Amino acid sequence: MNSEQLALTGWGRTTPSVASLVNISADELTQPGVLDRLDHAGRGIIARGMGRSYGDPAQNGGGTVVRISDGEIAVNSAQGSVRVGAGISLDTLLREIIPLGWFVPVTPGTRFVTVGGAIAADIHGKNHHVDGSFGSHVQQLTLLLADGTQQTLSPVGKHADLFWATVGGMGLTGIILDATFSLIPIETRHCVVTNERVPDFDTLIDKMIASDHLYRYSVAWIDLCATGSSLGRALLSSANHATLDELRSMNPKQTMDPLAYSPPTLADIPSIVPNVINKLTIKAFNELWYRKTPKLQHHTETLTAFFHPLDMVGWWNRLYGRNGFIQYQFVVPDNAIDGLRAIVEKVAAHGHASFVNVLKRFGPGSGGYLSFPTSGWTLTIDVPSGVDGLDALFTELDEMILAVGGRHYLAKDAQLTPGVVNAGYPRLDEWKAIRRTVDPRRRWASDMARRLDLL
Ligand SMILES: Cc1cc2nc3c(=O)[nH]c(=O)nc-3n(C[C@H](O)[C@H](O)[C@H](O)COP(=O)(O)OP(=O)(O)OC[C@H]3O[C@@H](n4cnc5c(N)ncnc54)[C@H](O)[C@@H]3O)c2cc1C
């Protein structure tokens, strides 16, 4: 075990707070009395994975933040599943399982997240409309409870309530020690991808509705600087895993070693860089990005290029400069298309610099009490922190989202209020009741939990 006092932030690099960061093996963490010793300041403990959530859920100012430093991977090929230590990253896991012909059931836009973080946020990927969220694939997990005992949880049966309070529970029911979940069989490390330029919002919605059942993965990058007749213009990218036969016919050279996997990092952004992301650079970038994509393109891409292109640039979050950036993600129901269009109009009219704007379709949610995904449309917006008028814009957007029955993603949040979360998550009180039964003395605590009144 090692411990240091450190200012921690999320990936957005806003709202730092100083905590005692403890790197500890799962074995040490579960020894009798260790939790009492770690909670010496009386401000509680929170687990942290790779700090890839954007806001403050893996921070605990004045208290303790725990990172599990080890873990094993045990693939069960007969069952198509894997048992993994919760501190293991998807990066490490993919390097092990892709050469064996398996892929994770859900991956976010980065592979630098831990299994614990994936379950605690019940993450979604480009395949939510087909496969649901990460928690839907978890067969069993081991939870370290506030009293130092361990509980094995599964989605059905005796402790199912605690399982579903933990899936999406942002680390506030206990520390996940390991999990068993199902895998997707693959024949190659490639996808067959169709990219398409879409001229406006209405065409985009129609195309996504019409084509989603044809593709396991689907995502649209939206140009939120475009207005008028180009409002909502986008690049729609849809894919399936490439079979060996497909690879043979489309790109025979790649069939040499079809499951070899070693994702590259092309560059690291240094720790101090000027903020290069502003209205002008974003507008120019968006124009270029939209124009550079052929109107229709059908080709193969590696898993890295399709799922994790941002990972090729290490610490790209530093490009936003010292103030960091806010990522704002929400979901609105399937039938709230007019509401979604009004939101896109509002953001475009505001004219701020928004860079990574992504629209996806969600299928039905998992059983997680605080799980974010639910049937509908989810839009993600990135904005440099401190832009004029941003707070007012978000307040207006919050109201528009709640008015159509939507909600916000806690793993991206750094600035919501308790009222907004209460309104968006109808099962919040049930979740709080379960949490209190397993943690009556509020051992688990985070900056987010205090800000959003979750304890
Ligand atoms: C570039 C980028 C792209 C992303 N794309 C997506 C996306 O497409 N879909 C999506 O859903 N998310 C996405 N995310 C968000 C990310 O998947 C989640 O925030 C995820 O939770 C981060 O995992 P982490 O291991 O870094 O956890 P952290 O950020 O360190 O922690 C997140 C939460 O998990 C809890 N936690 C961590 N480990 C444990 C544990 N062992 N036991 C209990 N609780 C634990 C923490 O307490 C905290 O509440 C993206 C993030 C980035 C930076």
**Ligand 1 within 6 A of CB of 126:** no
pLDDT over 80 (residue 13): yes
The pLDDT value given to residue 345: 95
pLDDT over 70 (residue 290): no
Exposed, middle or buried, 426 (CB in 10 Å: 0-12/13-18/19+)? exposed
Range 3-12 average pLDDT: 96
Q: How many domains does the chain have?
A: 2
Residue 263's pLDDT band (boundaries 50, 70, 90)? very high
Ligand 1 pocket test, candidate residues 84, 123, 331, 360, most atoms within 8 A of CB: 123
| pLDDT (tens digit per residue) in 197-253 | 999 999 999 999 999 889 999 999 999 989 999 999 999 999 999 999 999 999 898
Same domain, 216 and 314: yes
Same domain, 171 and 302: no
Same domain, 381 and 255: yes
**Ligand 1 within 6 A of CB of 48:** yes
Ligand 1 pocket test, candidate residues 22, 45, 48, most atoms within 8 A of CB: 48
The Å distance, Cα 49 to ligand 1 centre, comes to 7
The Å distance, Cα 206 to ligand 1 centre, comes to 31
pLDDT over 70 (residue 357): yes
The Å distance, Cα 167 to ligand 1 centre, comes to 12
What CATH number is given to the structural domain containing 355?
A: 3.40.462
The Å distance, Cα 192 to ligand 1 centre, comes to 27
Closest ligand 1 atom number to CA of residue 46: 47
Same domain, 256 and 300: yes
> Which of 11, 78, 64 shows the shortest CA–CA distance to 36?
64
Same domain, 131 and 198: no
Would you mind telling me the total number of residues written for the chain in this entry? Answer: 455
Same domain, 122 and 212: no
Mean pLDDT value across the chain: 93
Same domain, 293 and 389: yes
Range 310-320 average pLDDT: 82
The pLDDT value given to residue 445: 98
In a domain, 53, yes or no: no
In a domain, 179, yes or no: yes
Measuring from atom 19 of ligand 1, which residue has the nearest CA? 53
| pLDDT (tens digit per residue) in 416-430 | 999 999 999 999 999
| CA 429/CA 434 separation, integer angstroms | 9
Same domain, 98 and 213: no
In a domain, 426, yes or no: no
Closest ligand 1 atom number to CA of residue 48: 30
Domain boundaries, position 341: 190-415
42 three-state secondary structure: coil
Percent of the chain surpassing pLDDT 90: 82
| CA 21/CA 150 separation, integer angstroms | 22
Same domain, 166 and 243: no
Closest ligand 1 atom number to CA of residue 170: 49
444 three-state secondary structure: strand
Phi-psi region of 326 (alpha: psi -120 to 50; beta: other; left: phi over 0): beta
In a domain, 345, yes or no: yes
The Å distance, Cα 175 to ligand 1 centre, comes to 14
The Å distance, Cα 227 to ligand 1 centre, comes to 33
Percent of the chain surpassing pLDDT 70: 95
**Ligand 1 within 6 A of CB of 153:** no
**Ligand 1 within 6 A of CB of 343:** no
> Which of 123, 135, 144 shows the shortest CA–CA distance to 47?
144
pLDDT over 70 (residue 270): no
In a domain, 404, yes or no: yes
| pLDDT (tens digit per residue) in 374-418 | 999 999 998 888 888 889 999 999 999 999 999 999 999 999 999
pLDDT over 80 (residue 64): yes
| pLDDT (tens digit per residue) in 75-115 | 999 999 999 999 999 999 999 999 999 999 999 999 999 99
Same domain, 174 and 201: no
Residue 297's pLDDT band (boundaries 50, 70, 90)? confident
